[in-house]
């Protein structure tokens, strides 16, 4: 928030809000904690460790890069809690150092435990002759031809090192004349970080260890005096210039520039001498970079390579998503099932294949005349894109809104856009300043003498891979009101035709913030009138200061507020006189909680059938309200309403095995199960949904009933 923001003064900002960046680091700490959770199988714990490493890399490449830019340009724009960029960077550095030290401690612990299960990571200690022979042959045949040593002297320009690139510095002495020579070896990303040694036992060796081990083959006639590993992270954000006339051309150029972005972070092995470190900084023009000495494994995210080891005994039990019964009852005819009644699919417990089948059926159905689809992140092997191409080639009118500004997916989205256009799809890139983040698909079908519109609204991306590990909702409907609203949203994106009257949907950046404020105000009025007043809301991040202040006002009016915020939360719960009635939990477990669901009591105690329930593509952040195209959709169909409120939201609140409670001081405390353990993810893996059950719902004990726990 800028200093002039009237919502709250800087003097009181720190007491009312948590810092966004520090809150994110606290979230990543919770992810890291799962790597020490003995309830998880060993390789899954290693997966959590690698995720914490990848998360931290992205945090530096985007968030820290932005703060560093502001600091270097002398910008004193304060955060919502009143800190300048320089103050935030100082606080971040302290937290990150502790986080990285904990990552190394956890890695040493896991490595020792993995060794006992037959999975080892080799160091430079002696190995048996057979292994030595294989390693040397592998180096000479698979590594030596790929790497290129380069002398560091005036005759050789310093090479470009890519983002997240690992490099080895060698300090050598030529044996013929004792001259000191310094060499650099960039370890290409095309080489896997770990090499698996053949054999029943899983033995891995890191690529840098292999190169060091056989450096005498790389530098014959030299003696290695010392070597050091280092790694860089570059500024990877892309900023849209207002004068950009062609978004496609601009992004193709910007992606190339990002690869050469300014160095934000320089990681050096702790063994590297200070003069060498200073020399490398100079050669890489990284004087403004944040330099960190690493005592341990560098590039924690790369440990994911070991997680792929085929050891099902060390991973979560395999889980096969269910196909909704109603789809099967209609012989796989998605349109017939949706026409009969609205349906919600709960991913990953219910298969994302239903979404793909919906579009495949639309592509093949001769009665379908048009398809409109948003694509934010579709993945590298997208059946969704294939279905759209098939539909266009079949002569249907197909429109795809491809979001070029989806961070780190820009290049893939450009490739998809090119393929779609070649197939005859009308490709639209949306707005220059706003991202199209809404997940909407609409199919127009000729039925009898009229057209019927079928819609899909998702809380997550059209991404078959992430749909296996992200918890999201897919809502299908043939409600004409939803179809008319969806058509208006697409017209707004493609032709800037602002909707005049929305019957069901609310969208940002036009009116979503106001609608949300009105809903909170309604609960405040219920509380003031002496009626029950409650808000349950699930999201990924809560940052927006205006909404936070409105929630504080609701708490002071007596509204009971339960928030499930997986990641960033800038709201301070449980502060006397400010947020007494607000509780915040974060759930971190086998699946990534990703759905956005909001419920308002509407004058009765939650859960209740009169509650107003919504799903959305938006988090409660300024960007979602002001700079993105998002949707919010009311859930009115009784069975869907029951599932979203009485199953999904309630189960989130009941979880006490994967949940963390946020305190007014910013600390998260893991909940304890006590005598009634409840695991949200295990529940949905073993219990079918209420929506889409078809005839199965006639069985009285088909779905166990959940009840709200007594408050501690």
Distance from C-alpha of 592 to C-alpha of 31, rounded to nearest angstrom: 10
Distance from C-alpha of 551 to C-alpha of 535, rounded to nearest angstrom: 9
Among residues 440, 433, 420, the alpha carbon closest in space to that of 491 is found at: 440
Active-site annotation holder among 437, 526, 581, 641: 437
If you ran DSSP here, which 8-state letter would residue 644 be given?
I
| Long-range contacts at 177-183 (CB < 8 A, ≥ 24 apart) | 180/225, 181/151, 181/222, 182/151, 182/152, 182/153, 183/149, 183/150, 183/151, 183/152, 183/219
Distance from C-alpha of 547 to C-alpha of 544, rounded to nearest angstrom: 6
Beta-strand relationship, 450-458 and 470-477: antiparallel
Distance from C-alpha of 47 to C-alpha of 305, rounded to nearest angstrom: 9
In the residue annotation, 681 being an active-site residue is answered as no
Residues ≥6 apart with Cβ < 8 Å to 584:
563, 564, 565, 569, 571, 573, 661, 662
Beta-strand relationship, 426-428 and 180-187: unpaired
* Count of beta carbons in the 10 Å neighbourhood of residue 647: 24
Among residues 95, 147, 127, 145, the alpha carbon closest in space to that of 213 is found at: 127
Among residues 649, 678, 658, the alpha carbon closest in space to that of 538 is found at: 649
Q: At 56, give phi and psi (nearest 5°).
A: -65, -40
| Long-range contacts at 83-88 (CB < 8 A, ≥ 24 apart) | 83/14, 83/19, 88/19, 88/21, 88/22
Look at phi and psi of residue 577 and say left if phi exceeds 0, alpha if psi is from -120 to 50, else beta: left
Map tokens 């010392």 to a residue: 226
Element holding 549 (H helix, E strand): helix 545-557
Residues marked active site are found at: 437
């Amino acid at each position: 928030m800028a200093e002039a923001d009237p919502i709250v003064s800087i003097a009181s900002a720190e007491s009312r809000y948590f810092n966004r960046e520090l809150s994110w680091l606290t979230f990543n700490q919770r992810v890291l904690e799962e790597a020490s959770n003995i309830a998880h199988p060993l390789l899954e714990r290693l997966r959590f460790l690698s995720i914490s490493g990848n998360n931290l890399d992205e945090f530096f490449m985007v968030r820290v890069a932005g703060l560093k830019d502001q600091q270097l340009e002398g910008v004193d724009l304060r955060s919502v809690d009143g800190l300048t960029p320089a103050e935030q960077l100082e606080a971040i550095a302290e937290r990150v150092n502790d986080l990285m030290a904990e990552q190394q401690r956890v890695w040493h612990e896991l490595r020792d435990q993995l060794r006992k299960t037959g999975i080892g990571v080799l160091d430079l200690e002696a190995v048996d002759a057979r292994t030595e022979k294989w390693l040397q042959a592998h180096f000479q045949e698979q590594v030596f031809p790929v790497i290129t040593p380069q002398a560091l002297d005036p005759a050789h320009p310093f090479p470009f090192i890519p983002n997240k690139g690992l490099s080895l510095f060698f300090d050598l002495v030529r044996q013929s004349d004792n001259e000191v020579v310094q060499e650099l070896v960039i370890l290409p990303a095309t080489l896997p970080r770990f090499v698996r040694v053949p054999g029943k036992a899983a033995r891995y060796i890191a690529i840098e260890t292999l190169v060091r081990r056989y450096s005498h083959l790389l530098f014959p006639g030299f003696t290695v005096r010392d070597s050091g590993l280092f790694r860089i992270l570059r500024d990877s954000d892309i900023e849209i210039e207002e004068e950009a006339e062609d978004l496609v051309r601009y992004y193709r150029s910007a992606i190339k520039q990002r690869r050469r972005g300014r160095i934000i972070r320089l990681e050096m092995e702790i063994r590297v001498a200070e003069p060498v470190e200073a020399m490398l900084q100079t050669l890489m023009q990284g004087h403004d970079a944040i330099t960190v000495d690493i005592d341990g494994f560098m590039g924690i995210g790369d440990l994911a390579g070991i997680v792929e080891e085929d050891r099902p005994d060390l991973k979560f039990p395999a889980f096969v998503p269910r196909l909704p019964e109603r789809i099967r009852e209609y012989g796989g005819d998605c349109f017939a099932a949706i026409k009969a009644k609205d349906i919600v699919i709960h991913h990953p417990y219910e298969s994302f294949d239903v979404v793909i089948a919906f579009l495949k059926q639309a592509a093949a159905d001769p009665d379908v005349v048009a398809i409109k689809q948003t694509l934010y992140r579709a993945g590298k092997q997208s059946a969704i894109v294939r279905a759209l191409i098939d539909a266009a080639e079949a002569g249907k009118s197909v429109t795809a809104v491809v979001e070029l500004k989806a961070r780190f997916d820009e290049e893939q989205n450009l490739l998809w856009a090119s393929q779609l256009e070649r197939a005859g799809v009308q490709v639209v890139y949306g707005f220059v300043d706003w991202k199209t983040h809404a997940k909407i698909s609409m199919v127009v079908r000729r039925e009898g003498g009229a057209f019927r519109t079928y819609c899909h609204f998702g809380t997550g991306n059209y991404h078959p891979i992430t749909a296996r590990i992200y918890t999201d909702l897919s809502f299908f409907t043939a409600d004409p009101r939803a179809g008319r609203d969806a058509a208006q949203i697409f017209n707004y994106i493609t032709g800037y035709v602002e909707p005049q009257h929305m019957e069901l949907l609310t969208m940002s950046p036009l009116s979503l913030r106001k609608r949300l404020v009105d809903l909170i105000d309604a609960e405040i009025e219920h509380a003031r009138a002496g009626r029950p007043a409650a808000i349950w809301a699930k999201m990924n991040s809560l940052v927006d200061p205006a909404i936070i202040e409105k929630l504080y006002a609701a708490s002071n009016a007596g509204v009971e507020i339960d928030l499930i915020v997986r990641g960033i939360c800038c709201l301070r719960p449980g502060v006397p006189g400010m947020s007494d009635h607000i509780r915040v939990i974060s759930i971190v477990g086998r699946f990534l909680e990703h759905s956005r669901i909001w419920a308002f009591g509407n004058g009765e105690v939650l859960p209740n059938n009169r509650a107003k329930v919504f799903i959305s593509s938006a988090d409660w952040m300024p960007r979602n309200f002001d700079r993105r195209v998002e949707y919010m959709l009311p859930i009115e169909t009784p069975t869907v309403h029951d599932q979203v409120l009485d199953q999904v939201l309630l189960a989130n609140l009941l979880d006490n095995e994967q949940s963390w409670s946020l305190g007014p001081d910013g600390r998260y405390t893991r909940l304890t199960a006590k005598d009634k353990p409840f695991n949200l993810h295990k529940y949905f893996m073993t219990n079918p949904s209420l929506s889409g059950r078809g005839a199965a719902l006639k069985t009285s004990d088909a779905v166990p009933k959940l009840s709200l726990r007594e408050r501690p």
